[in-house]
Structure 1
Amino acid sequence: MAAQDEPPPRRLSPAIIRAEVDHGTAELIADPDRPLAWTLLVNDTAQSHVDLSDPTHLEFEYVRRLGHVLDAAAPPTRPLRVLHLGGGAWTLPRYVAATRPGSWQRVVELDGALVDLVAARLPADGLDLDVRVGDARYELEQVPDGSVDVVVVDVFAGARIPSHLTSVEFVRGVARVLDVDGIHAANLADGPPLHFARAQVATAAAVFPELALLASPEVLRGRRFGNLVLAAGRRPLPVRELTRAAAADPFRARVESGRELCRFAAGAQVVTDRTAGPSPVPPPGFFGRPAE
């Protein structure tokens, strides 16, 4: 008799877990294709995807691109000092802990009840994460000068980036905490005609001399709404490495830098605390729940 295939691992918890958190309703939805993976939604907006059995698996396109920036920030496996503004389900902190053991990481999340839910249902035991509950800009001000290698900004209130995290004053705060070789990496969201993204590039350029932008060609051409990852620093960025990684990724992306990025942001005004506004409202369902 031929041996039967072993059944896939069984989940020990329901396929959907709902909980009230400080800013609405959170849901953890089981990934039907990965037995120990979950998608976190808050108020029907997808925030994170985590595979507890493989923290190096990055499901979302923009998270993969932020991962490329982290991969290129230093030689492989070298520990990094990373400040994550925006926690979600701690996808990138788990990734850094797996790929760069010994890294120092602080995670800032505004929603304390969400932090408790993630800690209970998607535990990150042994990763030595310093998780702080608080506003991203306030917590940034508590970080010592020059003490961080990478600042990852991935903060959304609902489906929009809060206005106080889009200004040149905020970017100056990021620059203050970064080491001279450090990298500012921000997740942006925008659609045609990309006014918000162009203004964010101009704002970062007012603080940092070196910039790069990673996004799908369709988003860069203004054909659809999507995520764009902005990287900035005082020293030349690893553009060649980012370009190779973006081209080889299953979700192929382009990397704009130098003159091309200057043309992209031409005419855009630097955003200040007085003029700042949140990112645009995405199309209905853009950040919605995963397909069953």
Structure 2
Amino acid sequence: MVLSDGREAELIARDGGWILQIDGIRQSHVVAAGEPPPLATTRWLLAALGEDRRSLVHLGGGLMTLPRAVASGSPHARQVAVELDAALAALVRDRFPLPEGIVVDVADARAWLDGGGRDEWTRGACDAVVIDVFAGGRIPASFTSAECFAAARALLKPSGVLLVNSVAGGDLGFTRRELATLRAEFAQVAMIVQGSSLHGLRFGNAVLIASDEPVEEDRIRAALKGDASRGALVTDLEELVGDAEVVRDADELWSPVPDLPDTGPALRLLNQTRSLGSALRGVTER
């Protein structure tokens, strides 16, 4: 399918679910309700959220992987997901219906955020705000700045948490600045990341956690224990952040171009092989 901005998106069947891939990068992976999320980043976000979050704002939607996972564990949670692309929102509505309690707003997420949110109940009343916005595999500049994080904080309860699906790898320059920006706004900052990305050996995701309340280290580490991704909670950030500068809107700082393999051809070949195998079995049975 072609998205509203002209980018190409693909739906690929895999492991009993559906993958949304945009510009060759996997963005969402929807499985049956109650099944463990296949995406490591989704599991990290769930670990950071905990089980007591009842009002959530998601900036960036895709196929609504995280809101679905939250609804599976907390069916009474109220969630708003802000998705820019009308074609994606229509796809979700028509092909992947959402559980109760999730509302999708088709809007520019930063403009929505700066406007104070969809309803008055969101301002100062949210348990969590999740920023999960990518374009061409990169985080747009409007979602990396102190102004963005301050607007997100305005929606939170005093005990609320801001989560950012960010990136790490290479010289970590971008990651360091993002952490410095969050530390300038919130009392407590941590992140979940793989050791290989933290040490610059590979490019990958990092979930940034910010709150004015202490990070629940023991609970998060227990939730991550045994996860195949080997994501780890990092709370000692002094040396990593160092003298990194706070990011402002005026800096127009995008995340780095991702250095990732294109898994699209391999996934399509796998699906073709499975389809051929099914056809051959059907011929044999007849």
The answer, yes or no, to whether TM exceeds 0.5 is: yes
1:28 and 2:11 are equivalent in the alignment:
yes
Q: 1:268 aligns with which of 244, 249, 252?
A: 244
Distance 1:20 1:218 in 2: 34
Alignment of 1:5-16 (within 5 A): none
Encode CA deviations 1:209-268: one digit per residue, 9 max, x unaligned.
1011100111111211110000000111111111222232121122111xx212111111
Alpha-carbon RMSD across the aligned residues, in angstroms, is 1.6
The answer for the alignment partner of 1:81 in structure 2 is 55
The answer for the alignment partner of 2:42 in structure 1 is 63
Alignment of 1:90-169 (within 5 A): 90-124=64-98, 126-141=99-114, 142-143=116-117, 144=120, 145-169=123-147
Which residue identity does 2:245 align to in structure 1? Answer: Q
Please report how far the alpha carbon of residue 290 of structure 1 lies from its aligned counterpart in structure 2 after TM superposition: 6.2
Q: Secondary structure at the match of 1:179?
A: strand
1:204 and 2:187 are equivalent in the alignment:
no
Determine which structure has the larger helix proportion and give its number.
2
Alignment of 1:156-235 (within 5 A): 156-235=134-213
Please report how far the alpha carbon of residue 193 of structure 1 lies from its aligned counterpart in structure 2 after TM superposition: 0.6
TM-score scaled by length of structure 1: 0.85
Please report how far the alpha carbon of residue 284 of structure 1 lies from its aligned counterpart in structure 2 after TM superposition: 4.5
The answer for the alignment partner of 1:236 in structure 2 is 214
Confirm or deny: 8 A CA contact 1:219 1:225 kept in the other structure. yes
Please report how far the alpha carbon of residue 106 of structure 1 lies from its aligned counterpart in structure 2 after TM superposition: 0.1
Distance 1:44 1:281 in 2: 13
Change (3 A) 1:210 1:122: same
Moved more, 280-289 or 201-210: 280-289
The answer for the alignment partner of 2:26 in structure 1 is 46
- Structure 1 runs not aligned, ≥5 long: 1-18
- Paired residues in the alignment total 262
Please report how far the alpha carbon of residue 128 of structure 1 lies from its aligned counterpart in structure 2 after TM superposition: 2.7
Q: Secondary structure at the match of 1:119?
A: helix
Which residue identity does 2:238 align to in structure 1? Answer: C
Moved more, 84-93 or 22-31: 22-31
Distance 2:69 2:218 in 1: 22
Change (3 A) 1:152 1:286: farther
The answer for the alignment partner of 1:280 in structure 2 is 256
Change (3 A) 1:116 1:189: same
